[in-house]
């Protein structure tokens, strides 16, 4: 039986950020996640770095946190942040009183806004409907959630944290201070006696609390997003109204994400996007961008977020709560509920502060001071450097070292991913299409793993072809229309040729 100070349950950005924070304070920490890092809501969101504007009216406390945290992330995680700026556009059919309220709320929360003329806004974003009557520019930005999560995991590991994926916690015995877990890769069970256990399981927070026989009132809400091919906008474009469905466009790397829906989720695993959600999103988004229907949807995906108790869906606060369960027990336990990507570091800091005081550790937080990326990728050829630094941050040079000779072959031509990148992560133990795609972006381009299927499966191993195909089709099915319908037909033929499908 091993002894450790802190066990973090959950490999989302909150858990990983906490692991990094604690490890930097010299705390002995283990993180366990039942599947892969960032496989829940941390990897399934639009990748928006909130200036706070979107929450200013309804959730000023969250907005104020976003104001300061977005500035911190723009500095410590600048390798995966694109400071695009954002626009809020007001449409004539929306509440005429909202812009005034919005401006006042932004001012009181400290969100910097700038009034633009319709002409100026259309010059910036020509795809927008020309009939909006008010536009404000805000300091929103884009952040790559996977790059951020991976960099946190890598840096935490470097500081001594032990990050274990595919480790499922099965029982938490607060009375005796024992946590039992199973290593899903080989089925072996084990026990830990941490001094503090942190429940940062996101959409599965209530289930994890249940393992300790605790009842936690968490609501889960599913949000579906559609990825379009190409940059339809160069800035984040929000609809100036109370946040609702289909009212935000986020520019990505050669793509644009349209978000989101919001409906109750039956569980953390309720993450299959539906055609109805996609139709509803696109229909709603036409008000802001009439041409959106003509663009090529690449895929849809659904994230399940946990919200603090008290509200449902969008009425719930995007703020976070730390619940302390472990008083008078042999082991302390903290559950963190709610929050969002933009404030992950602040949540990690608050949790770590609490843990430090429990452990009597006098060090203070340094995560806002030290860069997440200390690798400028000098050795990477210019043609690849920008992408490697964006995707891999502190790992860029390490990943590049696997891309010599045969590793330089292009595996995924949509995304320009090299064989060596895939081999690097397979060598580190990543298995299956989801894990490879999350790290390298292979198969995430417009053909959704049609062209690279054979090459990818030759690296990943037997059975991969069917698994890759099945995994990609989850997101393809709801957008099977227009060009993606033809793409699917093409894909279907290929599957028959490859003998994957009868």
Instruction: Return residues touching other proteins (CB under 8 A).
Output: 229-230, 253-254, 295-296, 382-384, 386-387, 390, 413-416, 445-447, 450-451, 483, 486-487, 490
Residue 468 beta carbon to other proteins: minimum distance, rounded to whole angstroms: 15
Residue with smaller CB distance to other proteins, 220 or 450: 450
Residue with smaller CB distance to other proteins, 304 or 396: 396
d(CA 454, CA 149): 28
Residue 500 beta carbon to other proteins: minimum distance, rounded to whole angstroms: 17
Phi, psi (deg, nearest 5) at residue 330: -70, -25
Residue 421 beta carbon to other proteins: minimum distance, rounded to whole angstroms: 14
Residue with smaller CB distance to other proteins, 290 or 416: 416
Phi, psi (deg, nearest 5) at residue 480: -75, 85
- Cβ density class 180-212: b for 16+ within 10 Å, e for less: ebbeeeeeeeeebbbbbbbbbbbbbbbbbbebb
In sign, the C-alpha dihedral spanning 122, 128, 134, 139 is negative
Residue 498 beta carbon to other proteins: minimum distance, rounded to whole angstroms: 14
Residue 78 beta carbon to other proteins: minimum distance, rounded to whole angstroms: 16
* 3-state secondary structure labels for all residues of 85-110: CEEEEECCCCCCCHHHHHHHHHHHHC
Residue 480 beta carbon to other proteins: minimum distance, rounded to whole angstroms: 13
Residue with smaller CB distance to other proteins, 268 or 475: 475
Residue 380 beta carbon to other proteins: minimum distance, rounded to whole angstroms: 11
Residue with smaller CB distance to other proteins, 201 or 380: 380
Residue with smaller CB distance to other proteins, 239 or 384: 384
Q: What is the DSSP letter of 398?
A: H
Strand order of the sheet with strand 81-82?
48-49, 141-143, 81-82
For residues 412 and 451, the answer to whether their CB atoms sit within 8 Å is: yes
Residue 455 beta carbon to other proteins: minimum distance, rounded to whole angstroms: 12
Residues 6+ positions from 223 with CB-CB distance below 8 Å: 45, 259, 260, 261, 262, 302, 303, 304, 305
d(CA 198, CA 13): 13
Residue with smaller CB distance to other proteins, 317 or 415: 415
Task: Please report how many Cα atoms fall inside a 13 Å half-sphere around the Cα of residue 478, on the Cβ side.
Answer: 23
Compute and round to an integer the Cα radius of gyration of the chain. 22
DSSP per-residue codes, 157-221: HHTT-EEEETEEEEEEETTTTEEEEEETTTTEEEEEEEEEEEE--GGGHHHHHHHTT-----EEE
Residue 384 beta carbon to other proteins: minimum distance, rounded to whole angstroms: 7
Residue with smaller CB distance to other proteins, 386 or 428: 386
Residue with smaller CB distance to other proteins, 142 or 218: 142
d(CA 144, CA 391): 8
């Amino acid at each position: 039986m091993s002894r450790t100070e802190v066990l973090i349950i959950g490999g989302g950005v909150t858990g990983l950020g906490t692991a990094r924070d604690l490890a930097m304070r010299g705390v002995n920490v283990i993180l366990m996640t039942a599947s892969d890092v960032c496989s829940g809501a941390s990897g399934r969101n639009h990748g928006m770095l909130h200036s706070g504007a979107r929450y200013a009216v309804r959730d000023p406390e969250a907005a104020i946190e976003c104001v300061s945290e977005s500035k911190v992330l723009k500095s410590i995680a600048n390798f995966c942040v694109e400071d695009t700026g954002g626009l809020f556009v007001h449409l004539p059919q929306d509440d005429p009183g909202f812009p005034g309220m919005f401006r006042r709320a932004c001012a009181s929360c400290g969100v910097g806004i700038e009034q633009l003329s319709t002409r100026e806004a259309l010059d910036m974003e020509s795809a927008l409907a020309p009939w909006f009557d008010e536009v404000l520019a805000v300091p929103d930005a884009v952040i790559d959630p996977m790059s951020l999560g991976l960099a946190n995991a890598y840096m935490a590991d470097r500081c001594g944290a032990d990050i274990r994926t595919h480790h499922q916690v099965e029982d938490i015995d607060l009375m005796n201070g024992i946590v039992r877990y199973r290593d899903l890769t080989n089925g072996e069970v084990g026990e830990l006696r941490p001094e503090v256990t942190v429940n940062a399981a996101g959409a599965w927070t209530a289930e994890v609390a249940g393992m300790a026989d605790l009842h936690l009132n968490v609501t889960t809400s599913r949000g579906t997003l559609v990825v379009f091919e190409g940059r339809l906008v160069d800035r984040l474009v929000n609809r100036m109204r109370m946040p609702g469905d289909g009212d935000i466009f986020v520019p990505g790397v050669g793509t644009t994400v349209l978000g989101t829906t919001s409906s109750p989720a039956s569980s953390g695993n309720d993450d299959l996007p539906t055609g109805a959600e996609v139709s509803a999103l696109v229909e709603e988004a036409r008000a802001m961008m009439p041409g959106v229907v003509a663009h090529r949807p690449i895929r849809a995906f659904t994230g399940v977020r946990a919200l603090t108790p008290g509200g449902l869906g969008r009425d719930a606060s995007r703020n976070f709560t730390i619940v302390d369960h472990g008083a008078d027990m042999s082991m302390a336990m903290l559950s963190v509920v709610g929050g969002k990507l933009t404030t992950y570091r602040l949540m990690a800091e608050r949790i770590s502060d609490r843990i430090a005081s429990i452990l009597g550790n006098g060090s203070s937080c340094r995560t806002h001071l030290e860069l997440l990326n200390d690798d400028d990728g000098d050795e990477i050829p210019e043609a690849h450097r920008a992408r490697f630094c964006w995707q891999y941050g502190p790992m860029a040079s390490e990943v590049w070292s696997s891309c010599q000779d045969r590793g330089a072959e292009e595996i995924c031509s949509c995304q320009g991913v090299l064989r060596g990148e895939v081999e690097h992560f397979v060598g580190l133990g990543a298995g299956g299409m989801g894990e490879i795609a999350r790290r390298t972006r292979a198969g995430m381009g417009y053909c959704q793993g049609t062209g690279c299927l054979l090459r990818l499966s030759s690296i990943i191993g037997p059975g991969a072809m069917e698994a890759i195909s099945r995994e990609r089709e989850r997101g393809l099915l709801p957008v099977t229309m227009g060009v993606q319908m033809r793409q699917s037909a093409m894909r279907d033929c290929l599957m028959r040729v490859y003998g994957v499908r009868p």
